[in-house]
Amino acid sequence: MAIRCPEGCRDLLPDEAAYWERFASIARDVFSKYEYVSIYTPMIEQTELFVRGIGEATDVVSKEMFAAISGKNMEKLLEGEKIRSKSRLSLRPEGTAGVVRAIVQHDLVPDGAPPVKLMYAGPMFRAERPQHGRQRQFNQIGVECLGSADPTVDAEAIIMLMAFYERIGIESSMMRLLINSMGCGKCRPAYRELVHDYLSQNVDSLCDACKVRMEANPLRAFDCKEDGCKQVMSDAPKITDHLCEECSQHYAKVKGLLSSQGIEFVEDPALVRGLDYYTRTVFEVQATQGIGAQDAIGGGGRYDDLSKEIGGRSMPGFGFALGYDRCMLYLREKGMEFEPAKRCDVFVASVNDEVRDSAFELVQMCRYSDLRAEMDHQSRSLKSQFKLADKLDARVVVILGPDELARGEVKVRDMESHEESLVDKNEAVAAILDVLR
């Protein structure tokens, strides 16, 4: 049986690959107005980074990580030997931990420096149960701003993300922006205790996973999809009633800045997000139609303790990631078609095999002159070469025949006007450029 793509992964075929590149380039364009610049970090990192950064009690780390084990280490593991913690690697389930690791490693925000603003685009890996809108390899575009705790950073990033969605064709009326504050190291421990006590009083109504979560990280119970737990959590104490003065002010300022720019949002005190690094602002954007249960098309928040958690010095941060594949599901549902990936400028056709070397020479000359050029690579008949030129949407076809070539000439046909002219073969590229102009 032919080997197929792994479960939960998908191929981006050429038309979609071209669309993904355009999608990422629109993001770069929008985000660069806010001074975000690109960074590329590895797709594998030490597992320890995710355990410490994202949190051991999260589903992402405890259940969904793909280990990346080299052949040698796999042998060692199979033989019951230990491998060094440095050699324990995982495919990145998200981009934030790796970007913050790189910032710390390369000291990109020295003391007193302005904040660094970075963006990334690429695949992430989570061993989730695949379903519509949920994959094991999916593409994210994300940004991270490190070095400022100011609410203006939170607000401008959210505004920028909403502007991006509009640019790609998701209207604001089709999205819901949920926001919350998760508090900080000062106010959250007492709130956690409160939720823990509340869960203990309702333990009989909780699912088995939430009974474990109750001890490891009680706030995770807000994320549970079980009906019984949802019911319990709907009456749980709300974080926003227990924020310290600084967190309260920070949250109020973020909301004020969003409103001042006409950004509508819904406050959701149960929004805790699936990653443990968040402090203060968290937010999620949901598509209100068209993509079913997996409706979160993006989300993020502030993570002022993450840098310290992974061994760096204290450095406040804020960021978000948006899911390409879910945005694309929404746009396809709305009727968007991918444009064909390729429009060839010129196709060089050979009347017979004798002239193929000359065709090869001419097609290369076209490419050296920056044209998208193609020739036949299968000794097809002239008729089927024309069909191929049509398929490639070639604007010009150059026909090489033995008699014309003997006279030092080639035929140039404009495929739109169907006009043909015989030109000196040394003038062929100039004649093609004339038609394209």
Contacting residues toward ligand HAM, per CB under 6 A: 94-96, 126, 128, 134-135, 138, 140, 142, 144, 274-275, 296-301, 319-323, 325-326
The CB-of-343 to ligand HAM minimum distance in angstroms stands at 31
Other beta carbons less than 10 A from residue 165's beta carbon: 22
Torsion of CA 362, 363, 364, 366, to 10 degrees: 90
Distance CA 119, CA 38 (A): 5
Quote the least distance from Cβ 304 to ligand HAM, whole Å. 11
Distances in whole angstroms, Cα of residue 258 to Cα of each of 113, 283, 287, 405: 26, 12, 19, 68
Q: Which C-beta is closer to ligand HAM: that of 73 or that of 180?
A: 180
Q: What is the closest distance, in whole angstroms, from the C-beta atom of residue 172 to ligand HAM in the complex?
A: 17
User: What's CA 131's distance to the chain center, in Å?
Assistant: 18
Which residues, 6+ apart, have CB-to-CB distance to 133 below 8 Å?
Answer: 291, 292, 293, 294, 295, 325, 326, 329
Q: How far is the CB of 221 from ligand HAM (least distance, A)?
A: 18
Which CB atom, from 73 or from 96, has the smaller least distance to ligand HAM?
96
Q: Which amino acid is at 99?
A: V
Least distance CB 145 / ligand HAM (angstroms): 9
> How long, in residues, is the chain?
437
Question: Least Å distance between CB 222 and ligand HAM?
Answer: 14
Q: How many CA atoms lie within 13 A of 374 on its CB side?
A: 17
CB of 295 to ligand HAM, least distance (A): 9
Report, in Å, the least distance between residue 86 CB and ligand HAM.
23
Q: Closest CB to ligand HAM among 297 and 396?
A: 297
| Pair of tokens at residue 117 | 């603003």
How large is the angle between the packed helices 356-368 and 428-436, nearest 10 degrees? 50
Q: Position of tokens 């004339």?
A: 434
Closest CA to 115 of 308, 298, 316: 316
287 or 431, CB closer to ligand HAM? 287
Q: Which of 101, 84, 83 is nearest to 45 (CA)?
A: 101
Which of residues 154 and 409 has its CB atom nearest to ligand HAM in the complex? 154
Name the residue nearer to ligand HAM (CB basis): 147 or 299. Answer: 299
**Residue 428 CB, nearest approach to ligand HAM (Å):** 49
Residue 339 contacts residue 345 (beta carbons within 8 Å): no
Query: CA separation (Å) from 308 to 98, 272, 303, 315?
Result: 14, 21, 10, 7
Q: Which residue is at the shortest CB distance from ligand HAM? A: 323
Look at phi and psi of residue 212 and say left if phi exceeds 0, alpha if psi is from -120 to 50, else beta: alpha
Q: How far is the CB of 298 from ligand HAM (least distance, A)?
A: 5
Q: Which CB, 310 or 396, lies closer to ligand HAM?
A: 310
Q: Identify which of residues 282 and 351 has a Cβ nearer to ligand HAM in the complex.
A: 282
Between 142 and 218, whose beta carbon lies closer to ligand HAM? 142
Residue closer to ligand HAM (CB basis): 303 or 386: 303
Q: How many CB atoms lie within 10 A of CB 416?
A: 9
In angstroms, the CA 170 to CA 334 distance is 9
281: nearest Cα among 312, 308, 243? 243
Residue number with CB closer to ligand HAM (84 or 129): 129
What is the closest distance, in whole angstroms, from the C-beta atom of residue 146 to ligand HAM in the complex? 10
118: exposed, middle or buried (C-beta count within 10 Å: 0-12, 13-18, 19+)?
Answer: buried
Residue 5 C-alpha from the chain's centroid: 20
233 phi and psi, to 5 degrees?
A: -70, -20
